[in-house]
Amino acid sequence: MITLDSLSKKLGTRVLFDDVTVTFNEGARYGLTGPNGAGKSTLLKIIMGQEPPTAGHVSLPEKVGYLKQNIEEFADFTAIETVVMGNARLWDALSERDRLYEVEMTDEVGMRLGDLEEIIADENGYTAEVDAEVLLIGMGIPKDAHEEKMHSLPTDWQFRILLCQALFGDPQALILDEPTNHLDLESITWLQEFLCNFKGALIVVSHDKYFLNAITTHIADIDYETVITYPGNYDQMLVAKTSVREKAELENKAREKKVAQLKEFVAKFGAGTRASQVQSRVKEIQKLQPQELKKSNIQRPYIRFSTPETNSGQVVFNVKKLCKSFDDKKVLHNASFEILRGDKIAVIGSNGKGKTTLLKLLSGIYQPDSGQIIAGHQVDIGYFPQNHEEMVDKTQDTSLFDWLKNVKPGLYDQDVRGVLGKLLFGGDDAFKPVKALSGGETARLLLAKLMLNSPNTIILDEPNNHLDLESVSALAWGLEDYKGTAIVASHDRNLVNNFATKIIALENDGLHFFAGPLEEYLKQKQ
């Protein structure tokens, strides 16, 4: 189990959480929730000893798996070696054994080798490579890549390998920060099953609501400057949290009403003959003072894409025998489909299958090698790239306000300020330089641009990657409500389920166009 004892963390004058005492029990799976900036990643770093708390301390079991993000540290190791490093005791023993085999054999060296073999046996070292391979294959890393150096593998594969590292070696507790970020739907499904069978204590941060609902038995929510644990999954936590807050607010209102009545009695009879009754009322007033309810730090953006100023033709895109390759790798081959006005389409598929390539072809950023993409009458495209820096120059000192003011001629200041407010850039935040924005803030800035531009066709590439749960939910509502055509690549199952009525799936055998929602497509695929 993991225990936080009187834990506090302050950043300057800002309190993230104060005097928190919580135990994360063995066999329970906790989702750690809270908006961007609430302190989720900070709390995980404190638990792992990477950052000091302001006060309090943490107790951990002997063996903890932790998802690292520092892929550079493992550049010269193979995928298998990187995974085995997840069991530090085993890896140290294997490394020392290999070094000792290269020196002159003495009695002392022989004795040490015997000790090391015992450690390796205790840690199941003789099946370590097989166990590591099972994890890698589950994460979608093919067997021919297992002996490759990390630096030679795609970046998203490297992050998946680090996830396997965290899962390796039968840890007693697992701490995972955004484990689904670089996973496709199949790998996420595999990870869900793995975590649901995990016997230790699990703490996971994720912006994927479907994933959280599928795996969690409890939610530890950072809000009101503390950490409150709720039984159940994320949806159940929202109901319980709202209920508790409403009850506290009603109790405060009842106290305020009673105090007002008592004060009226004291004012009326304070100078009279009913002194004893007045004093008892004064004492009651002191007992009934309403509790100070700390303000929630949750902020919910309002994402609504305006009704397009001009409608496109009935056929938005007519795609015929589309082909695209990079060097000798075929990404798309003979793909044909038709997108109609008002379609809400999710583009799904494993990483590397061509989702981004397809969206850039539809947006006109890439040109096909062969085949045709025929855009319909008056199609006006708004594009959201997976790599935000394709659209936002982070080297400039331009403010958010000025950047948005220039996206469309004739915008009024109040229009820009209004959209910025809806996307949680209120007050002076509207004049922050774009180069200082976090990933989540940059994503909200790009969504603000789409809200101002009013295109009749929006193409979004992994828009949820840096957004918190509240923002992803707001985006889902915005897409569902949108009156134009939406084409969105995403691995977020909850987002896709909420808006998509059609699916473009990029599979090993090519592109499949399915006229129905995701759950129906997955059933048919099975």
Residue 442: give its domain's CATH number: 3.40.50.300
Boundaries of domain holding 266: 250-287
Asked if residue 463 lies in contact with residue 491, where contact means CB atoms within 8 angstroms, the answer is: no
User: Residues 424, 248, 258, CA angle at the centre, nearest 5°?
Assistant: 125
**What's the Rg (C-alpha) of the chain?**
28
- Asked if residue 293 is part of any domain, the answer here is no
Q: Do 491 and 393 have their domain in common?
A: yes
Asked if residue 207 lies in contact with residue 467, where contact means CB atoms within 8 angstroms, the answer is: yes
- Asked if residue 506 is part of any domain, the answer here is yes
Q: Do 405 and 282 have their domain in common?
A: no
Domain boundary among 195, 210, 236: 236
Q: Do 264 and 232 have their domain in common?
A: no
Nearest to 335 by CA among 514, 513, 511: 511
Q: Do 439 and 509 have their domain in common?
A: yes
Q: Do 121 and 230 have their domain in common?
A: yes
CA distance 447 to 95: 49
Residue with tokens 């950490």: 227
Q: Do 195 and 334 have their domain in common?
A: no
Q: Do 232 and 255 have their domain in common?
A: no
Confirm whether pTM is higher than 0.95. no
Q: Do 331 and 266 have their domain in common?
A: no
- Asked if residue 52 is part of any domain, the answer here is yes
| Tens-digit pLDDT string for the chain (526 aa) | 899 999 999 988 888 889 999 999 999 999 999 877 788 889 999 999 999 999 999 999 988 999 887 888 899 999 999 999 999 889 989 888 888 888 888 888 889 888 888 998 988 889 999 999 999 998 889 999 999 999 998 887 888 899 999 999 889 999 998 888 778 888 888 889 989 988 999 999 998 899 999 999 999 998 888 898 999 999 888 888 876 666 666 666 776 676 677 777 777 766 665 667 767 766 766 666 656 656 666 678 999 998 898 899 999 999 999 999 988 888 899 999 999 999 999 999 887 789 999 999 999 999 999 999 999 999 999 999 999 989 988 888 899 999 999 888 888 899 999 999 999 998 888 999 998 888 888 999 999 999 999 999 999 999 988 888 889 999 999 999 999 999 999 989 999 999 999 999 998 888 999 999 999 998 888 7
Q: Do 264 and 206 have their domain in common?
A: no
- Asked if residue 68 is part of any domain, the answer here is yes
Nearest to 452 by CA among 506, 486, 415, 490: 415
